[in-house]
């Protein structure tokens, strides 16, 4: 089970009501296909061996005996398969009839789980036939099979089973199951279709997986169930901690491809979220009376089919992206608004470089001032051309300040830095780190001193990616009085500025055009002289690496604590066709080295608002000693070359 990924599936084969032999044959067919795709667990619909809509036929001994014998027949026919099968059937025990799910593996019926909540309202009348199972713990059937509520543990993970209505009640059995270690919940269902129910069902599965910090695999009945009074659509859903990984097309055709839904579950991701949440940890392993059934199973490493986005910080759906951008800008502005109001400050000072970060900081400040009802002239935008400033970036910074109606000041740093070089006896022709950082610190000094003159607040421009890489001059652009971009990664900064450009396209075309050009400008600190034709010579991503890769590494390292080797293999899939393996390895190694070496800068960053799940604030989400060793991480990454 490489990197904690396993493949699960929900299958809705065609059934014939009351025809157990036909239903078993269909179940075996799907089981074999799933096994060929290295599926670890395959779940089928509620009462799938007989059909859910048998009605009073459930009271016929002939059908009950056929279903029970059919269960063992199914186990025998699939004894050569490594895939765990979960099937539904009616099961008589102790003079009572239960609606159950049977767990099968390699010819053995491992356990039988009865339905606890039996609906008897609206179109449902299950109490006419079935008894709710209200006992805790496991009892043994006459066939020596475990019967009752249980968590199943095999192959390095744990799962549990509930049946249809068990999900829809206020206190689902799955709550107790996850308290006892279940990471995946499988639900055998036969949920009929009425207007609006599909959305409710989808939201229910999604939120249950989020609440449980688990994966939830919901398998619904489809074609073949009686349509005498109801219609069934085979609405299968697989969710993982609040995110729907896969969802079937309702009312699909009879093709096998449409009748089965696969997804690759990331168990390590679930485990990471559970480790992180101490309230979840405090709530587990309570006295719920749930037994754990262990059985041996080894599942092969799968060739990952799960989609992995190149930009985990950025929604891929356009509508979601626009909503995300609006939310983030509002959160950033709310943070600055609150700070300005708290200290009764009516002026803000921003260094405008014509780059993405300072532009976003200005946009946020505009929103905050508008919310406060303060004249935008109180925003003092300062452009500070130096040795590497190009006309493109300088003009863009001037254009956006003028279009927004801010106060604009231009202060060249060249003479001051030249004097500084003389003072410290540095050769101006030596373009080393001293040459670069002297310019950054001079700019910060100007901003701070003007803020003192004006009684204003210096708004920081540095972003999350720069904090992760330490790509900032210590006590230079590293410092401000409030950092509005501190939890915005570089890949997202670009989209936020693009969103503002699109938003202003009708009301202010000149501003929109300038913002669009800033988005198209190569990322650069512009601390080295431009080329002979006046273009940017110092391009950050050529030196430190592509930000889309670094943001990918950052997200999975900080958000989930994944190992570098796992992140590397995920990156290979996400960036297939964009970067080769050698390039990904090179920049991930660079990221790990820089991340550990640059913690001292993160230990003393200014205040700023957290807007996402990843933050490196030393007062919030990330506490790390500045002298921690990076060897464990580099050694793990090196294993991918072995």
* Positions marked catalytic: 46, 115, 164
Helix (H, G, I), strand (E, B) or coil at 311: coil
Instruction: Write the DSSP symbol of residue 354.
Output: S
Identify the helix (H) or strand (E) that includes residue 185.
strand 184-188
Phi and psi at 285, nearest 5°, equal 55, 40
Query: Cβ contacts of residue 3 below 8 Å, gap of 6+?
Result: 266, 268, 565, 566, 569, 570
Cβ contact 188:212 at 8 Å: no
Query: Cβ contacts of residue 200 below 8 Å, gap of 6+?
Result: none
Instruction: Write the DSSP symbol of residue 460.
Output: E
CA dist 161 and 177 (Å) reads 9
Cβ contact 420:442 at 8 Å: yes
CA dist 182 and 215 (Å) reads 9
Of 551, 550, 559, 552, the C-alpha closest to 621 is 559
CA dist 183 and 160 (Å) reads 8
CA dist 287 and 180 (Å) reads 9
CA dist 104 and 145 (Å) reads 11
CA dist 159 and 403 (Å) reads 58
Q: What is the DSSP string of 32-43?
A: HHHHHTT-SEEE
Of 104, 82, 268, 308, the C-alpha closest to 183 is 268
Neighbouring C-beta atoms of residue 157, cutoff 10 Å? 23
Beta strands across the sheet bearing 150-154: 243-247, 237-240, 215-219, 184-188, 157-163, 150-154, 291-294
Q: How many helices (DSSP H) and strands (DSSP E) are in the chain? A: 22, 20
CA dist 296 and 129 (Å) reads 35
CA dist 310 and 549 (Å) reads 8
* Two structure tokens written together for 54: 């048998």
Query: Cβ contacts of residue 367 below 8 Å, gap of 6+?
Result: 329, 330, 332, 333
Count the residues in the chain.
642
Q: What is the DSSP string of 235-255?
A: --EEEETTEEEEEPPTT--S-
Of 405, 408, 361, the C-alpha closest to 384 is 408
Rg (CA), the chain: 30
CA dist 4 and 570 (Å) reads 12
Cβ contact 469:489 at 8 Å: no
CA dist 152 and 143 (Å) reads 19
Q: What is the DSSP string of 245-281?
A: EEEPPTT--S-HHHHEEEEEEEHHHHHHHHHH-HHHH
């Amino acid at each position: 089970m490489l990197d904690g990924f396993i493949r699960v599936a929900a299958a809705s084969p065609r059934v014939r009501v009351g025809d157990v032999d036909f239903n078993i044959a269909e179940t075996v067919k799907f089981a074999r296909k799933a096994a060929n795709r290295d599926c670890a667990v395959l779940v089928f619909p509620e009462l799938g061996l007989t059909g859910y809509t048998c009605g009073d036929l459930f009271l016929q001994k002939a059908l009950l005996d056929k279903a029970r014998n059919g269960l063992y027949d199914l186990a025998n026919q699939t004894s050569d398969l490594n895939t765990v099968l979960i099937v539904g059937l009616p099961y008589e025990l102790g003079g009572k009839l239960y609606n159950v799910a049977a767990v099968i593996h390699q010819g053995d019926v491992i356990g039988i789980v009865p339905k606890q909540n039996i609906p008897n309202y609206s179109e449902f009348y299950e109490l006419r036939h079935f008894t709710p199972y209200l006992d805790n713990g496991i009892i043994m059937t006459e066939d020596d099979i475990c019967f009752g509520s249980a968590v199943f543990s095999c192959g390095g993970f744990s799962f549990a089973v509930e049946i249809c209505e068990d999900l829809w009640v206020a206190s689902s059995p799955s709550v107790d199951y996850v308290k006892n270690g279940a990471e995946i919940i499988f639900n055998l269902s036969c949920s009929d279709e009425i207007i609006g129910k599909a959305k409710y069902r989808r939201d229910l599965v999604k939120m249950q997986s989020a609440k449980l910090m688990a994966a939830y695999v919901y398998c619904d009945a489809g074609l073949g169930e009686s349509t005498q009074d109801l219609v069934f659509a085979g609405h299968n859903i697989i969710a993982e901690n609040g995110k729907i990984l896969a969802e079937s097309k309702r009312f699909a055709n009879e093709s096998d491809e449409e009748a089965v839904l696969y997804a690759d579950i990331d168990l390590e991701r679930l485990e990471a979220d559970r480790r992180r949440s101490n309230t979840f940890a405090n709530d587990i392993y309570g006295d719920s009376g749930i037994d754990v059934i262990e059985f041996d199973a080894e599942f092969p490493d799968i060739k990952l089919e799960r989609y992995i986005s190149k930009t985990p910080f950025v929604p891929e759906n356009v509508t979601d992206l626009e909503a995300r951008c609006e939310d983030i800008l509002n959160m950033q502005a709310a943070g600055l608004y609150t700070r300005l109001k708290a200290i009764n400050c009516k002026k803000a000072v921003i260094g405008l470089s014509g780059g993405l970060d300072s532009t976003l900081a200005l946009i946020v400040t505009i929103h905050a001032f508008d919310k406060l009802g303060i004249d935008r002239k109180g925003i003092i935008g300062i452009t500070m051309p130096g040795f590497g400033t190009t006309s493109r970036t300088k003009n863009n910074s001037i254009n956006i300040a003028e279009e927004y109606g801010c106060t604009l000041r231009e202060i060249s740093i060249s003479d001051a830095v030249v004097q500084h070089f003389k003072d410290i006896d540095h050769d101006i022709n030596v373009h080393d780190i001293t040459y670069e950082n002297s310019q950054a610190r001079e700019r910060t000094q100007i901003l701070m001193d003007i803020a003192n003159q004006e009684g204003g607040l210096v708004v920081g421009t540095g972003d999350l990616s720069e904090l992760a890489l330490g790509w900032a001059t210590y006590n230079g652009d590293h410092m401000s009085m409030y950092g509005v971009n501190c939890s915005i990664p570089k890949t997202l900064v670009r989209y936020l500025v693009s969103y503002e450009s699109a938003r202003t396209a009708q009301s202010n075309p000149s501003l929109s055009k300038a913002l669009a050009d800033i988005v198209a400008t190569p990322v650069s600190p512009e601390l080295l002289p431009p080329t002979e034709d006046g273009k940017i010579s110092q391009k950050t991503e050529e030196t430190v690496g592509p930000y889309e890769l670094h943001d990918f590494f950052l997200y999975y390292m900080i958000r989930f604590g994944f190992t570098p080797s796992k992140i590397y293999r995920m990156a290979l899939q996400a960036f297939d066709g964009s970067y080769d393996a050698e390039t990904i390895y090179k920049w991930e190694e660079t990221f790990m080295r820089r991340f550990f070496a640059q913690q001292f800068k993160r230990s003393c960053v200014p205040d700023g608002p957290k807007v996402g799940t990843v933050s490196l604030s030393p007062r919030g989400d990330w506490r790390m000693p500045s002298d921690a060793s990076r060897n464990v991480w580099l050694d793990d990454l090196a294993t991918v070359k072995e």
